[in-house]
C-alpha cells in the first residue's frame, strides 16, 4: 500500500463515480477536492419513476455535500481546463488546483441540437435523460394524453442506460392500460432487433407482445422530427405520426478542455485504457463512467466499478475493470439485467419478480452506498461475483 496521506486528489464530477472515488480516497487520508458544476446529485434511473409514475423529484435528489465525507473539499463550479502534463486543473472562475492524482468522472454531455426537432420536442413534452424537472414534464404529457400514439424515439445508441428506452415503453404502456386509455406506445429503434443484442431482443420482444398496446420499428434511423406535422421522419423517408413524443438525446463527452487535446476522441469522450482506466499516456490521471470512450455501456455500474478500480490502482494494486454492466430493464413488476463485459455479450435473461425486487432494494441502498462505499462493498461484490457472465454462462439467469 502506498503512503497516500496528504497527497492531493482532484475529482471532477458529482455523479456516482465521482462521489464514490472522492469518499474512498478521503478515507485513505488524501487531500481530496471534488469539482462539480451542479450542487445537486440526482439518482438518474429514478427519472423513469418521476416521468411515468409521478414520483416527486425531491425523493431522488440530494445535495452533493451531504453525500461526501466531510473531509472532502467541495467546489461547486465548472472545471474548464485540465493540464495533464503539469497536473493542474483550472475552474471557470480561474482558480488553479494542483493535484497528484486526477479522476475525471464528468459524465456525458447531452446534445439536443444534432437532430432537427429534438430540442423543440423536449420543451413541449419533456424527456427523462436530462433533469428530474424535465422528467416531471413527461409525467404531465403522459397524464394529459387521452387517446392516440405515444412515441419513444431513439436516434442513437451510444446512450446512458441502454435499456432506458424500453423501460419508458413498458412503464408508459402500463400506465395507459391501467387508466383504460386507448393509447398505443411505439418505440423507434435504430438497431435490427429491439435490443442491441439479438438473444436478449427476443426476450424483450416477447414481453412487449404481452402488453397489447406496444408496437415498435427496428432499423429505424431517425432523420428529423417535424414538430408542426407531429411526424418522425426516417433517413429513408418513412414517416411515423405521433400525438406525444419523448426522444432520447445524443451523448457526447464533457465540455472540458484538455492539454494535450488528443486525449479526447471525435465525440469528446476521454480516451482511457479500458481495463486500467488511466487517461491514455498518463499514469496519474484517470477517467471513469459515462465520460470515457471505454467500449462498454454508459451506466452507473461502470462508474461504480470504475471508482473502485481507480481507488485500488492509486493504492498500488493492479486492479482492472472488466467492462461489467448490470443494466436493469424493468416493467412495473418484473425485471431483467443486461449483464455483459468486454469478453462476453449480454447473457440470456428471463423476466422475474425477484429481479424487480432487487432493483427496488438497490434504489433504497443507493444514497448510503455513495456516502459509505466501503461498508456496502461486500454486498455489491458478492452480487457481482455470483452474476459474472462467465458464471451465468449459456444457461443465463
Partner 1 sequence: MGEKKLVDARGMACPGPIAKLTRAYREAKNGDIIEILATDQGFIPDIKSWVESTGNKLLELGQDGSGVIRAVIEVTAKK
Taking contact as CB under 8 A, which single stretch among the options 138-146, 152-160, 208-216, 376-384 is the one that binds partner 1?
152-160
Taking contact as CB under 8 A, which single stretch among the options 124-132, 135-143, 193-201, 370-378 is the one that binds partner 1?
193-201
CA nearest neighbour of 331 among 203, 183, 142: 203
Q: Does 229 bind partner 1 (CB under 8 A)?
A: no
Query: How far apart are alpha carbons 265 and 300 in whole angstroms?
Result: 21
CA nearest neighbour of 88 among 166, 25, 12: 12
CA 8 to the chain's CA centroid: 28
Q: Does 384 bind partner 1 (CB under 8 A)?
A: no
Query: How far apart are alpha carbons 29 and 262 in whole angstroms?
Result: 33
Among 338, 349, 351, 370, binds partner 1 (CB under 8 A): 338
Total of residues contacting partner 1 (CB under 8 A): 35
CA 379 to the chain's CA centroid: 21
CA nearest neighbour of 322 among 336, 300, 302: 302
Among 47, 296, 309, 322, binds partner 1 (CB under 8 A): 296
Taking contact as CB under 8 A, which single stretch among the options 47-55, 100-108, 229-237, 256-264 is the one that binds partner 1?
229-237
**CB-nearer residue toward partner 1: 76 or 158:** 158
CB atoms within 10 A of CB 182: 9
Among 100, 223, 259, 359, binds partner 1 (CB under 8 A): 223
Among 221, 319, 363, 392, binds partner 1 (CB under 8 A): 221
Cα–Cα separations (whole angstroms), residue 382 to 377, 378, 385, 387, 388: 8, 6, 5, 9, 10
Among 40, 90, 211, 342, binds partner 1 (CB under 8 A): 342
Among 53, 73, 80, 274, binds partner 1 (CB under 8 A): 274
Contacts with partner 1, 29-68, as mask; x by CB under 8 A = ----------------------------------------
CB of 339 to partner 1, least distance (A): 9
Classify residue 231 by burial, with Cβ atoms within 10 Å: 0-12, 13-18, 19+.
middle
Query: What kind and span of H or E run contains 369?
Result: helix 353-371
Q: Does 192 bind partner 1 (CB under 8 A)?
A: yes
Query: What kind and span of H or E run contains 165?
Result: helix 164-178
Among 147, 198, 280, 365, binds partner 1 (CB under 8 A): 198
Among 343, 364, 378, 394, binds partner 1 (CB under 8 A): 343
Q: Does 268 bind partner 1 (CB under 8 A)?
A: no
**CB-nearer residue toward partner 1: 156 or 226:** 156
Query: How far apart are alpha carbons 122 and 124 in whole angstroms?
Result: 5
CB of 131 to partner 1, least distance (A): 24
The residues with which 251 forms a beta bridge, in sequence order, are: 110
Query: What kind and span of H or E run contains 167?
Result: helix 164-178
Q: Does 331 bind partner 1 (CB under 8 A)?
A: no
Q: Does 231 bind partner 1 (CB under 8 A)?
A: no
Among 162, 254, 289, 328, binds partner 1 (CB under 8 A): 162
Q: Does 236 bind partner 1 (CB under 8 A)?
A: yes
DSSP letters, 240-292, are EE-SEEEEPPEEE--S-EEESGGGB-TTSPBPB-TTT-BBTT-SSEEE-GGGB
Q: Does 345 bind partner 1 (CB under 8 A)?
A: yes
- Cβ proximity of 163 and 195 under 8 Å: yes
Query: How far apart are alpha carbons 161 and 215 in whole angstroms?
Result: 21
Helix then strand count (H, E) for the chain reads 11, 22
Taking contact as CB under 8 A, which single stretch among the options 50-58, 139-147, 190-198, 364-372 is the one that binds partner 1?
190-198
Q: Does 344 bind partner 1 (CB under 8 A)?
A: yes
Q: What 8-state DSSP symbol labels residue 352?
A: B
CB of 233 to partner 1, least distance (A): 8
Interaction site with partner 1 (CB under 8 A): 114, 155-158, 162, 190-193, 196-198, 218-219, 221, 223, 235-237, 267, 274, 295-297, 323, 325, 338, 340-346
Amino acid at each position: 500500500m502506498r503512503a497516500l496521506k496528504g497527497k492531493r486528489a482532484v475529482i471532477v464530477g458529482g455523479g456516482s463515480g465521482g462521489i464514490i472515488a472522492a469518499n474512498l480516497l478521503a478515507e485513505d487520508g488524501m487531500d481530496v477536492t471534488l469539482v462539480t458544476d451542479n450542487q445537486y446529485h440526482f439518482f438518474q434511473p429514478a427519472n423513469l419513476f418521476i416521468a411515468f409514475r409521478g414520483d416527486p423529484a425531491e425523493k431522488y435528489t440530494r445535495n452533493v455535500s451531504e453525500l461526501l465525507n466531510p473531509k472532502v473539499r467541495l467546489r461547486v463550479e465548472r472545471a474548464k481546463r485540465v493540464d495533464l502534463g503539469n497536473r493542474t486543473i483550472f475552474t471557470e472562475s480561474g482558480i488553479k488546483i494542483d493535484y497528484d492524482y486526477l479522476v475525471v468522472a464528468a459524465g456525458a454531455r447531452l446534445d439536443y441540437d444534432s437532430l432537427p426537432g429534438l430540442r423543440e420536442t423536449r420543451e413541449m413534452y419533456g424527456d427523462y435523460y436530462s433533469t428530474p424537472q424535465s422528467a416531471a414534464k413527461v409525467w404531465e404529457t403522459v397524464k394529459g394524453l387521452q387517446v392516440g400514439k405515444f412515441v419513444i424515439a431513439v436516434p442513437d445508441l451510444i446512450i446512458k442506460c441502454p435499456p432506458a428506452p424500453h423501460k419508458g415503453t413498458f412503464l408508459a404502456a402500463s400506465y395507459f392500460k391501467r387508466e383504460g386509455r386507448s393509447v398505443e406506445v411505439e418505440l423507434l429503434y435504430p438497431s435490427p432487433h429491439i435490443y442491441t443484442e439479438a438473444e436478449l431482443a427476443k426476450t424483450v420482444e416477447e414481453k412487449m407482445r404481452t402488453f397489447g398496446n406496444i408496437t415498435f420499428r427496428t432499423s429505424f434511423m431517425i432523420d428529423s422530427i417535424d414538430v408542426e406535422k407531429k411526424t418522425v421522419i426516417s433517413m429513408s423517408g418513412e414517416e411515423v405520426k405521433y400525438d406525444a413524443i419523448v426522444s432520447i438525446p445524443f451523448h457526447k463527452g464533457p465540455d472540458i478542455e484538455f492539454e494535450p487535446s488528443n486525449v479526447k476522441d471525435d465525440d469528446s469522450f476521454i480516451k482511457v485504457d479500458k481495463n486500467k482506466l488511466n487517461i491514455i499516456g498518463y499514469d496519474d490521471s484517470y477517467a471513469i463512467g459515462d465520460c470515457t470512450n471505454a467500449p462498454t455501456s454508459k451506466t452507473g455500474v461502470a462508474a461504480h466499478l470504475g471508482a473502485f478500480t481507480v481507488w485500488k490502482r492509486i493504492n498500488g494494486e493492479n486492479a482492472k475493470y472488466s467492462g461489467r454492466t448490470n443494466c436493469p430493464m424493468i416493467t412495473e413488476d418484473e425485471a431483467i439485467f443486461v449483464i455483459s463485459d468486454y469478453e462476453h455479450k449480454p447473457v440470456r435473461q428471463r423476466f422475474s419478480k425477484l429481479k424487480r425486487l432487487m432493483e427496488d432494494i438497490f434504489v433504497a441502498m443507493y444514497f448510503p452506498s455513495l456516502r459509505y462505499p466501503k461498508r456496502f462493498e461486500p454486498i455489491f461484490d458478492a452480487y457481482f461475483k455470483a452474476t459474472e457472465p462467465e458464471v451465468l454462462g449459456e444457461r443465463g439467469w
